[in-house]
A and B are shown apart, each in its own frame.
Chain A
Amino acid sequence: MAAVQEDGSSVTSSSHESSPWMRRSPGLGSPSPWIRELGSEERGLCLIRLLQECAVHVGTGSMENANLGLEHISHLASPDGDTMQRIAAYFTQALADRMLKGWPGLHKALNSTKLSSVSEEVLVQKLFFEFCPFLKVAYLITNQAIIEAMEGEKVVHIIDLYSIEPAQWINLLQMISARPEGPPHLKITGIHEQKGVLEQMALQLVEEADRLDIPFQFNPIVCKLENLDLESLGVKTGEALAVSSILKLHSLLATDDDMLRRDSPVALKNLQKVFHNRQRPLREFLDKDLINLYLASLDSTSTSSPLSLCASPKMESFLSSLWSLSPKLMVITEQEADHNGFTLMERVKKALNFYAALFDCLDSAVSRAPIERHKIEKMLFGEEIKNIIACEGAERKDRHEKLEKWISRLELAGFGRVPFSYYSRLQAGRLLQISNYGGYNFKEENGCFVICWKSIPLFSVSAWRRWSN
């Protein structure tokens, strides 16, 4: 039984009645009644297929087919349907955004009346913090690592690369005031693009520090992370420096990809040069060097190997300035996903898996607060998805990478891993256990934490210090 068409144009040889959804293959331009027959599972599977096909079309530039794909999906997706429908809605929006960028004037016109509301952004971050345990665990682990590393220090200076949630530092203030040798003089430098956020942060932190009688100083720096000049931060010698980066470091990976691909052997050589300056043990040197040389010799325009990292000038220079500040500890929390692939298809596939898990997780946490869920999905996840899919080059900031790549990057830059204490593992584990309705767990990988939902890795936390020989 071939698929039914309303307009009479026939489907070509359909010798595949066996496949269940093929029977319901969409007719053209017709919102077929068959759609209503689909059960939610079948609809979900259909959506997945359609999404992937559409992404392929978009990737290869066949706009008409992509348009058709989007049309089909629009009948099935919805921002307030079930999880898969919602995910599909955000993904198609991102794909459409990408397509529209091919008409820059149109794209700009459509977005010309958009006002980004700072308070909404802050609210959404707060909601995410409250409903999902990921940020809480990250803060907990970060603060515990800081306390442990700063044992005995009298002056502690913390640089927060994305300073938005006061709860993190309030927690630290409380923990540090309970130190047996008394609290140190604490200085926190918070970096954020918006002044209002930092002001609010300063207010709350100073209030808490006063209450706990801790000598405290908050240094707001209003600028974008990529424009940050670390030298100007006023890190004095003798201060014990800690750096905390929560879900923000990857934005420094943004670079103009085309330039990258062309100059890749140069990039590799730069990496090697950076290596040499760090005076690492010879063996490691040789291992990594060998790989790089081998790669370079194989193919002068190839940029990828299992180990190779997209050389990102911004990241390299940032890490090397950080290194020269000699931080005692650097704790980095990142999404555990590879959303920095070169091709769109790759990114779509990986993002589908990652955000499916994240949407499921959020759904289970906030199932009875659909407005808040919608806010988080739309303004937080949706924006990330849009950035991953629709943007390229320097505009694409949400370049999540997996832990192993971060490890390579940081080791290349001269940092060594700091293991987490048993106590922090314990605390993190407990916090995850009692969160929401369960389903969270974490595992250790390469001495770093990976926080998972239903065993799907979602976020990684790693601690570093300046490697000294």
Chain B
Amino acid sequence: MMSGESFSVASSIGGFGQEVQNTNPNPNPAAKKKRNLPGTPDPDAEVIALSPKTLMATNRFVCEICNKGFQRDQNLQLHRRGHNLPWKLRQRTNKEVRKKVYICPEKTCVHHDPSRALGDLTGIKKHFSRKHGEKKWKCEKCSKKYAVQSDWKAHSKTCGTREYKCDCGTLFSRKDSFITHRAFCDALADESARLTSLAAANNLNFGNDSMNDTVINPQPGLPLGASQFGSGFRPELSGMAINGNSLGVDQQKPRLSLWLNQANSQLNPTDMMGNSHLYASSSSTAFPEMMQAVSGNLFGSSSMPNFGNFNNQQFQGFDKSVSTSTNASLSLSALPHEMKEEGNKGNLVETLSSLYSDSQKKQSKPSMPMSATALLQKAAQMGSTTSNPSSIFGNSFGVMSSSSSNTTTSFNTVNQNRNELHQALQNSKQQAAENFTASGSVDGMLRSSNLSSLTTSTNSFDQLMMQTSGKQSDPVALKNHPGSNAIENSLTRDFLGMGGRESQRPFLAQELAKFASMSSAMGLSQFTGNH
């Protein structure tokens, strides 16, 4: 449309119901009549501001002779013919017709600004009804309300005729919103995780066959048991097939089968999950590269223009220097044309990624290299289930103390504290937690009885871990605010208990925590309400 300098909109609107002066003309005549983006009017158009009444009036065209009102201009003209007007008046005045644009009379509306006027009178009328009018039309089937009759009619034609349903139960009438939803749907992610785990072996074989098929012969097969996704996958498949072909069919097949064979051979021993290790780290061969290649190109082709550019321009170079073995030679310039809808891309990749991420998830269960986060969770759980944590630590400290040649007195204090600990274990968590911070939080203050403080603090640390492990082992719960808040609360309660005032503290601290978290929620929600 327009390039170069931006223009300034200098028009001011007088009262309503008048026709108003122009926007600053910017010499940029359109060669042919093209449609502007909605809300970006031609700068040398005439801006017309109508009052709500005029806008909504049904009989806008009035015959000047008999004052009869008509809905359409053509009807009015037809009527005027009947008045036997002299020839000249019958013709429409042929001055140069200036394009008119209309603004919405509602002040708070975006389209109230002349620089965002709408080009069509019918358009502005519909807009006004839709946004600022009352919804008088109601669909019978689904009780959805509309302000504009044509909207209502259009909807009732398609209501209930064609629906997409996500596994989480939500219904969609539009394909694109359905696909977008699926991309984010949590239930779906869980579902696919379960599916892929259950049928991992089957999927592999199935996938192998179908992949080979598509490599040889671009067909609308379905990759990797992703049968739940729709036919929109075709473009991706043919794209991937092209991908494979460019590599050379021979290269592709053996690589895939190599990978899958490895997977199969690993399947036999104990874990089906063994292959997940394969996916994650060593499945270096075809799949990840294709993934990367696909993703690299998705970047390039999608409407996120620029990171794609980075990827290609700046960081392909980087890739080479960085020695990851991406096949930049997989020139996928053919791909963008294949990919129709971005939603599909998302889905394809989602399957693949869920496959990977899922397999990585599985890693946390078995004894093969566990992810660090899984280890931490397990440690937290173990900390909560060990029967006598105090004694363990007491023991090791006993060992250390004997070696570091402390006197027997310190040894005795260890034992004493162990007993104290046993008691502490019986008590509530809060008390234990407070004991912890009473000693542990002040660095070096209890240097004199460092061992005793150690035993108390580590035990209470375990208690703390027990508290938090309850939260950690359930990542879904972590998402919620209250969960993390509670952790914060428990910790901060400890701080307030600092300095040996534990006996009076617990109740107050708890109350405080509740109060603060309540009112914080109140305060914040009120704020968002103000938004």
Interface residues in chain A, defined as those with a beta carbon under 8 Å from any beta carbon in chain B? 9, 11-16, 18-19, 22, 25, 28-29, 39-41, 44-45, 48-49, 52-53, 56-57, 59-62, 64-65, 68, 82-84, 87, 126-127, 130, 136, 139-140, 152, 154, 167, 170-171, 174-175, 178, 180-184, 213, 281, 283-284, 287-288, 290-291, 294-295, 298-299, 302-307, 338, 341-346, 349, 352-353, 356-357, 359-360, 363-364, 366-369, 371-372, 402, 404, 407-408, 411, 416-417, 419, 426-427, 429-431, 433-435, 437-439, 441, 443, 445-447, 454-457
Q: Residue B314 at the A interface, CB < 8 A? A: yes
**Contact assessment for B527 and A175 in the assembled complex, using a CB-CB cutoff below 8 Å:** no
With A61-B443, A345-B440 as known contacts, state yes or no: A433 contacts B475, CB within 8 Å. Answer: no
**Contact assessment for B307 and A343 in the assembled complex, using a CB-CB cutoff below 8 Å:** no
Q: How far is the CB of B163 from chain A (nearest CB, A)?
A: 22
Q: How far is the CB of B526 from chain A (nearest CB, A)?
A: 6
**Contact assessment for B526 and A283 in the assembled complex, using a CB-CB cutoff below 8 Å:** yes
Interface residues in chain B, defined as those with a beta carbon under 8 Å from any beta carbon in chain A? 1-8, 37, 40, 115, 180, 183-184, 189, 280-281, 284, 288, 291, 294-295, 298-299, 302-307, 309-310, 314-315, 318, 322-325, 342, 345-346, 349-350, 352-357, 360-361, 367-373, 375-376, 378-379, 382, 386-388, 391-393, 395-400, 402-404, 437, 439-441, 443-444, 446-447, 450-451, 453-454, 457-458, 461, 465, 472, 475-476, 478-479, 481, 484-485, 488-489, 491-492, 495-496, 508, 512-513, 515-517, 519-520, 522-524, 526-528, 530-531
Among candidates A48, A171, A304, A426, residue contacting B379 with C-beta atoms closer than 8 Å: A48
Contacts of A40 in B (CB 8 A): 367-370
Contacts of A130 in B (CB 8 A): 315, 318, 322
**Contact assessment for B357 and A84 in the assembled complex, using a CB-CB cutoff below 8 Å:** no
Q: How far is the CB of A124 from chain B (nearest CB, A)?
A: 12
Among candidates A170, A338, A359, A447, residue contacting B528 with C-beta atoms closer than 8 Å: A447
Among candidates A62, A170, A433, residue contacting B454 with C-beta atoms closer than 8 Å: A62
**Contact assessment for A288 and B523 in the assembled complex, using a CB-CB cutoff below 8 Å:** yes
**Contact assessment for B183 and A430 in the assembled complex, using a CB-CB cutoff below 8 Å:** yes
With A40-B369, A284-B523 as known contacts, state yes or no: A57 contacts B454, CB within 8 Å. Answer: yes
How many interface contacts (CB-CB < 8 Å) are there between A and B? 320
**Alpha-carbon separation in the docked complex, A291 to B519 (Å):** 8
Look across to chain A and name the residue whose beta carbon is closest to the beta carbon of B528: A447
Look across to chain B and name the residue whose beta carbon is closest to the beta carbon of A53: B458
**Contact assessment for B527 and A416 in the assembled complex, using a CB-CB cutoff below 8 Å:** yes
Look across to chain B and name the residue whose beta carbon is closest to the beta carbon of A55: B461
With A343-B440, A345-B461, A454-B361 as known contacts, state yes or no: A291 contacts B515, CB within 8 Å. Answer: yes
**Contact assessment for B395 and A14 in the assembled complex, using a CB-CB cutoff below 8 Å:** yes
**Alpha-carbon separation in the docked complex, A281 to B527 (Å):** 9
**Contact assessment for A433 and B346 in the assembled complex, using a CB-CB cutoff below 8 Å:** yes
**Contact assessment for B372 and A356 in the assembled complex, using a CB-CB cutoff below 8 Å:** yes
Q: How far is the CB of A64 from chain B (nearest CB, A)?
A: 5
Contacts of B465 in A (CB 8 A): 349
The 8 A-B pairs of least Cβ separation, nearest first, read A438-B353, A356-B372, A61-B444, A439-B357, A287-B523, A171-B306, A437-B356, A44-B375
**Alpha-carbon separation in the docked complex, A363 to B374 (Å):** 14
**Contact assessment for B492 and A60 in the assembled complex, using a CB-CB cutoff below 8 Å:** no
Contacts of A82 in B (CB 8 A): 369
Q: Pull 17 A–B residue pairs with CB atoms less than 8 Å apart, ordered by A.
A: A28-B399, A29-B403, A60-B447, A130-B315, A182-B3, A287-B519, A288-B519, A291-B515, A343-B440, A344-B443, A357-B372, A359-B372, A408-B520, A429-B346, A434-B298, A437-B280, A447-B531
**Contact assessment for A60 and B444 in the assembled complex, using a CB-CB cutoff below 8 Å:** yes
**Contact assessment for A439 and B353 in the assembled complex, using a CB-CB cutoff below 8 Å:** yes
**Contact assessment for A48 and B376 in the assembled complex, using a CB-CB cutoff below 8 Å:** yes
**Alpha-carbon separation in the docked complex, A60 to B436 (Å):** 12
With A52-B461, A356-B375 as known contacts, state yes or no: A154 contacts B495, CB within 8 Å. Answer: no
**Alpha-carbon separation in the docked complex, A457 to B357 (Å):** 16
**Alpha-carbon separation in the docked complex, A426 to B302 (Å):** 12
Q: How far is the CB of A411 from chain B (nearest CB, A)?
A: 6
With A287-B522, A343-B437 as known contacts, state yes or no: A353 contacts B395, CB within 8 Å. Answer: no
**Contact assessment for A60 and B402 in the assembled complex, using a CB-CB cutoff below 8 Å:** no
**Contact assessment for B496 and A299 in the assembled complex, using a CB-CB cutoff below 8 Å:** yes
Q: How far is the CB of A43 from chain B (nearest CB, A)?
A: 9
**Alpha-carbon separation in the docked complex, A433 to B357 (Å):** 11
Contacts of B496 in A (CB 8 A): 298-299, 302, 304-305
**Contact assessment for A411 and B527 in the assembled complex, using a CB-CB cutoff below 8 Å:** yes
**Alpha-carbon separation in the docked complex, A171 to B306 (Å):** 5
**Alpha-carbon separation in the docked complex, A98 to B224 (Å):** 51
**Contact assessment for A41 and B375 in the assembled complex, using a CB-CB cutoff below 8 Å:** yes
Contacts of B352 in A (CB 8 A): 438
**Contact assessment for B387 and A454 in the assembled complex, using a CB-CB cutoff below 8 Å:** no
**Contact assessment for B356 and A174 in the assembled complex, using a CB-CB cutoff below 8 Å:** no
**Alpha-carbon separation in the docked complex, A290 to B520 (Å):** 11
**Contact assessment for B379 and A19 in the assembled complex, using a CB-CB cutoff below 8 Å:** no
Contacts of A170 in B (CB 8 A): 306, 309-310
**Contact assessment for A298 and B375 in the assembled complex, using a CB-CB cutoff below 8 Å:** no
**Residue from B1, B375, B403 with most neighbouring chain A CB atoms (10 Å):** B375
Q: How far is the CB of B327 from chain A (nearest CB, A)?
A: 13
Contacts of A61 in B (CB 8 A): 443-444, 447, 450
Q: How far is the CB of A444 from chain B (nearest CB, A)?
A: 10
Contacts of A68 in B (CB 8 A): 400, 403-404
**Alpha-carbon separation in the docked complex, A272 to B1 (Å):** 52
Q: How far is the CB of A280 from chain B (nearest CB, A)?
A: 9
Q: How far is the CB of A309 from chain B (nearest CB, A)?
A: 12
